[in-house]
Structure formats: structure tokens, C-alpha cells
Structure 1
Amino acid sequence: MISTLGPVVESAFALEQFGRQGNATFHLWRKGVREQLGTRVAEIEQLADRYSADELLPLLRLHSGASPEAGGDERARQRVQTTLFEFCQVAVLPHWRQMRGHMASVRDAYGRIGIANGMHALLDNLHPKLNWKPPVLEVAGEPDRDVYLNGRGLVLSPSLFMAGKACMVLDNVQELGVPVLVFSVPVDSATESEFWCHRGGGEQALSALVGHTRAAALQTLSESCTTGELSQRLNISLAGASKHATVLRKAGLVTTARKRNTALHSLTPLGVALLRQRPSARTS
């Protein structure tokens, strides 16, 4: 089990909640996001109307075997990427610390169920629409589709924005090498208030200080990851991810541990402190 596939993937799910058919639980969130987007609302609405999450993810090249084309036009695909990333900056990243912490708690809770009662109990408790009938995990109310693991295993990951849908199976996502079952986590009224009433002023100040992409990289590195994982989560090139990690490391915000050809990046105490900072006074 993992706690999340990252803010960009979660943004693809969030886009569906931003549209006209979005779940009522996200009313406060939608209102806040619309205010922040301003004149860009129409562009985001068009993207939400045109693509579902499972159609968006291949366009982001998050699936290694999927077609990278958007309507046969590479520039159109790049526009989709740019628009979704701008949406991510406003809709998900300001709340990411709370979201990530909540999903980590969900992962840990289900992990304890699996340890105490076995995998059958874990799979039976993931979602009311999921039913474990060994050796098959059935999903009620979804279109017929068979996914064969063929011994590859299965990664489980929660999602806060997949409301109204039990789960989604993603193949070859983020170079994990095995299918990922993303399952929906309900958002109750207390969680709704905690998440969506948080304005994220510190994140906006952070973006102004280091730039949007590096602010997103710093947020992502609050969970240590490799250069490749950073590239996948931010939907940027490997060279771009390496460059951002290098700049953050030279600024003393990130430390890098190398093992053979792999570089694992983690926040330094200064990086953690910067993420937690909030604007406390006006400056001239």
C-alpha cells in the first residue's frame, strides 16, 4: 500500500469534482478554487467537460504504454498538461499537506487491518462496492472489465477526490511496474471543514519565493522520492526534475542520498520549516 500517487494524479480526479456533476462534499472546495482561478475558470471547465480522469492520465504520459496524443496533436496534449498543472497549483497543492497526512493515516489503518486479519479482510473493507471472492476482487456497479495480475501483485492507493466512484485500476503508472488499485476515501463534514477552509497562504508565499514548479517539487519531496518519481509526480522531464532538485539542494532545502544510479531526495530541516511557514506580517 502507498498513501498517494501524487498531486498531479489526484488533480485528474479532482477535475471531475470541479465539473457540473461534482460531489456536494466538495462545495466549499469548488467555491474556493473558482475564486482563485478567476478568469481561468472557463478553460478548466472545458477540460473537465472534455476528459474524464481515466482519459486524462494517458495524455499526461503517466501510463507508459498509453498513447501520448491528444486528438492527434502534440501541442494539444501539451496544453492539456499545462492546464491540468495550473489547476493542480490552485486546487490541490494548497491543501496537499493535509490531504497527504489524511491519506497516510488511511493507508496505515488499512495496513493494520491486513496485518491483524489478513488480506481478505483488507480487501473486503476497502470500499462497500468492493467484494473479495477469492481469487477475484469484484467491483459492483462498474462496467465489465477483467484485469489479470498474472503474478505481478497489486498496489493499493487511496484517493480523496474519487468521490462517487469505488475505484480505478491504473496500469504501469509512475514506473511502479504493477497495476494500481486507486480506491475512494469518503470525506466527512469534519474533514471537509479542515481541508477546504484552509486557505494555503503559506503555499502561495512559497510559490512567490521559489517559483510554482519548485514549490510543487518541495511539496512533493515532503515524502522522499527519487528523481524519476519526482519527474512522474510533477509531470515534468527527468532533466527538469534533476535540475529543480539540484537548485533546491544548493539552497539547503533538500538533501540527496545516492546509491549506484539512483538519487533519493529528502527535505532538510530548513526545507520543512519553509513549507510550514505562513505570512505573519506585511512587508514593504
Structure 2
Amino acid sequence: MLRLHFTAGDLARTRVADGPDPLWESVLSLHRLRETRPEPLLSGWREHVLRQAAAPLPFLLPLVPSRGYFPDFLTPAEGAYGFETGLDALLSTPHGQLRGQVEKLGEDRPLTPWLRAVREGRAASLHRLGDALRAYQDAALGTWWQRIMARVESDRTMRARTQWARGTEAMLRTFEPVLRWRAPVLEAEYPVDRDVHLEGRGLLLIPSYFCRTKPVALADPSLPPTLVYPARSSVPRARPLTELGGRHLARLLGPTRAAVLQSLDGDCTTSELARRAGVSLSSASEHASVLRGAGLVSSSRQRNSVRHALTPIGLALLDGHPGLPDPTEKACEA
């Protein structure tokens, strides 16, 4: 069991990452690659990678065992700024950290000559590691990146919106059952029993496409607290849709428009919105336009499609936020 202990300061400093981290995705995809019973949705990806990334895999798989510990230097915080920035930080890891982390890797298995070379921080070995990561990233994530981005963005948008409208504790509750918020502790199933005291540093939550079951934390407690969790394409709200917005939502917006608003569970295209709400494409577009004009929905064009998402006001209306008055109730007379 992993237990993350929060203070009030930690709640104020906890946030969801702005997008997927390419180095975390690379490392975690190596776990998916070596699964004996891969998910059906990843079978085509796995076959593609085994064909296209045969050369770099012998250099990467020894650093990322199928189970247990893998070195923290593979996923530096700088990865949030892009693959090349993260890779530069990785290859600049101080020799003391390289040695300590590779030796820890060797506690459960003998170190191969390749791992011993990485442990010593030899320039030629680090150059080879960088080339292997670039080649693997291009083969494994290049054509898949739009899919990764779409899932992560859908997840993080809902988490961040919940945090904005109802606070960090409400946002932490949206992770159940993968994570369980039992104030002031965030719990998760984990291979080892571990307590992490954030001590005012806050927590960075990174949604990940290739993290598919349990969350992953950095092993070194001195590093900035980070938790990578499985991104979901559609994040369920804390209450059923039939309860959201109260009994007056349909009377306020009309039944069809209310259904369209309730169908915005994470961002989606106009076509997806029409399918979810059970209306025609033109009707979905018209209702989204009206809801956008009312400040309940935001829309953005991405290539040949338009994606829609709830604004904080729309989310608050659906969730029956106490700060929003019931517009059908009569105002109190002076």
C-alpha cells in the first residue's frame, strides 16, 4: 500500500500535469510491451513496436524490468517540457545518482556489462542510451502520440475543472477506485508498503496512457513528489447524471439541451456529442453553440473537428454547486 500524507500546504500545491510526459510514456510502454497477455487494444501497437524498435530494445529493457524497481533518472521532471529537454536532463544525471540507482536495480538481478557501463556514466554508453531512447520513442510513440494526447487531455481537463470549481479534495476523490482519498492521506494499491510525507512540497499528478492499472511513484523520497496514474478517456463524476443539476435542469434548459450538457463527460467532438446525447449532428452543433454563448461550454477547433468541454460554470451547474442559485426559485422579496 502506498500512502501519501498531506498537509494543508500540500493541498494548495497539488496539481495535475499539463499534458503527457514523453519519458514516462516511453518507460511505461516498455512494461506494456513485455506483457504476456497484452490488452487487445494494444495488440496492434505491440506488433508494430516489436517490428520497428528491435534495435533499441536490448539497451532499454534491462533498465526497465517487467516488475519492480526501475531507475528514477529515466523520468526526470524536465520531461514535462518535451522529449528532447527531458532527454538532455536524463543524460546529465550526476554520476553519483547513476551509480546508486543502477546498483539498486542490481539488488534483484545481476548487472549485465551494459548496465555496468551505464552505472559508470561512460560518455559512449550514455550516448548510446540517448540514441536508443530516441529511436524507441519515434517507433513506439510517434504515430500513437495523438491518441495519447487525446486520452490524457480528456482526463486532465476534468480533474483540473473539478479542482477549480470544488477544490483539491474534491478533485482527489475523482480518482477512486485507483486512488482513495481518506483525508489527510491519499492511498493506492502498491507492490511495496510505503509512506510518503509530502511536507509542504505538494504533489504532481501525471495522467498517463500507458500506465494501465496501478499508479507509479518515484522511488527517491528526496525528489519532487510525483504520482503517475492511468488516464481515462471518460472520467466518471461522483454522482449519477440523473442527480446532476437537480430537478430543474431540464426545465431551465429544455430536455434536449440538458441532455447535451450532461453528455459532456470530458471533452469530445461534435459527432461524439451527438452520439452520446442521441441527437442529430446538426442538433448537437446548434445546442453546443447556445450553451457556449451562455458560458457553459467551451469549444476549440483541432484540425478538421471541433471539440467541446464544460466550463467551470457548466460543471458547477451540473454538480448542483451550492454557489449557484436555483434559477427557478422565486427571489426573496425585500
Q: Please, what TM-score do these two structures have when normalized by structure 2?
A: 0.47
Once the two structures are superposed, the pairs formed by residues 3-22 of structure 1 within 5 Å of their partners are: 3-21=18-36
- SS of the equivalent of 1:137 reads strand
Cα distance in 1, alignment partners of residues 233 and 154 from structure 2: 13
Cα distance in 1, alignment partners of residues 151 and 185 from structure 2: 29
Q: Which range is displaced more, 93-102 or 107-116?
A: 93-102
TM-fit CA distance, 1:22 = 6.3
TM-fit CA distance, 1:97 = 2.9
- 1:8-32 CA-to-partner distances (Å, cap 9, x unmatched) read 2210111111113464142121012
Instruction: Check whether the contact 1:159–1:184 (CA below 8 A) recurs between aligned residues.
Output: yes
Instruction: Check whether the contact 2:21–2:206 (CA below 8 A) recurs between aligned residues.
Output: no
Alignment partner, residue 165 of structure 1? 214
> What are the ranges of 5 or more consecutive residues in structure 2 without an aligned counterpart?
1-15, 77-88, 100-114, 235-301, 304-334
In the comparison of the two structures, how many residue pairs are matched? 184
Matching residue's letter, 2:97: S
TM-fit CA distance, 1:49 = 5.0
- SS of the equivalent of 1:126 reads coil
Matching residue's letter, 1:181: L
Matching residue's letter, 2:229: F
Instruction: Check whether the contact 1:170–1:180 (CA below 8 A) recurs between aligned residues.
Output: no
Alignment partner, residue 51 of structure 1? 64
Query: Are the structure 2 counterparts of residues 110 and 23 from structure 1 closer, same or farther at C-alpha, using a change threshold of 3 Å?
Result: farther
- 1:27-81 CA-to-partner distances (Å, cap 9, x unmatched) read 12101222323x52xx515632552495244256668787124533323444333
Alignment partner, residue 84 of structure 1? 133
- SS of the equivalent of 2:187 reads strand
Indicate whether 1:74 and 2:121 are aligned.
yes
TM-fit CA distance, 1:4 = 3.0
Counterpart among 173, 180, 184 of residue 230 in structure 2: 184
Cα distance in 2, alignment partners of residues 95 and 157 from structure 1: 18
- 1:67-107 CA-to-partner distances (Å, cap 9, x unmatched) read 12453332344433332221111101222233223312211
Query: Are the structure 2 counterparts of residues 187 and 114 from structure 1 closer, same or farther at C-alpha, using a change threshold of 3 Å?
Result: closer
Once the two structures are superposed, the pairs formed by residues 233-252 of structure 1 within 5 Å of their partners are: none
Cα distance in 2, alignment partners of residues 11 and 19 from structure 1: 13
Cα distance in 2, alignment partners of residues 57 and 87 from structure 1: 18
- 1:202-242 CA-to-partner distances (Å, cap 9, x unmatched) read xxxxxxxxxxxxxxxxxxxxxxxxxxxxxxxxxxxxxxxxx
- Whose relative contact order is higher, 1 or 2, with alpha carbons under 8 Å and at least 6 apart? 2
Cα distance in 1, alignment partners of residues 164 and 58 from structure 2: 43
Instruction: Check whether the contact 1:154–1:180 (CA below 8 A) recurs between aligned residues.
Output: yes
Cα distance in 1, alignment partners of residues 221 and 134 from structure 2: 21
Matching residue's letter, 2:170: A
Q: Identity of paired residues, percent? A: 26
Alignment partner, residue 107 of structure 1? 156
- SS of the equivalent of 1:183 reads strand
- SS of the equivalent of 1:122 reads helix
Cα distance in 2, alignment partners of residues 167 and 9 from structure 1: 10
Superposition CA RMSD, Å: 3.4
Cα distance in 1, alignment partners of residues 49 and 62 from structure 2: 17
Q: Please, what TM-score do these two structures have when normalized by structure 1?
A: 0.54
Alignment partner, residue 172 of structure 2? 123
Query: Are the structure 2 counterparts of residues 27 and 56 from structure 1 closer, same or farther at C-alpha, using a change threshold of 3 Å?
Result: farther
Instruction: Check whether the contact 2:63–2:71 (CA below 8 A) recurs between aligned residues.
Output: no
Matching residue's letter, 1:34: L
- SS of the equivalent of 2:210 reads coil
Alignment partner, residue 2 of structure 1? 17
Cα distance in 1, alignment partners of residues 180 and 75 from structure 2: 31
Cα distance in 1, alignment partners of residues 146 and 138 from structure 2: 13
Once the two structures are superposed, the pairs formed by residues 257-268 of structure 1 within 5 Å of their partners are: none
Query: Are the structure 2 counterparts of residues 138 and 4 from structure 1 closer, same or farther at C-alpha, using a change threshold of 3 Å?
Result: same
Larger helix fraction of residues: 1
Query: Are the structure 2 counterparts of residues 6 and 100 from structure 1 closer, same or farther at C-alpha, using a change threshold of 3 Å?
Result: same
> What are the ranges of 5 or more consecutive residues in structure 1 without an aligned counterpart?
189-271, 274-284
Cα distance in 2, alignment partners of residues 85 and 57 from structure 1: 18
Cα distance in 1, alignment partners of residues 137 and 226 from structure 2: 21
Query: Are the structure 2 counterparts of residues 54 and 2 from structure 1 closer, same or farther at C-alpha, using a change threshold of 3 Å?
Result: farther
Alignment partner, residue 183 of structure 2? 134
- SS of the equivalent of 2:196 reads coil
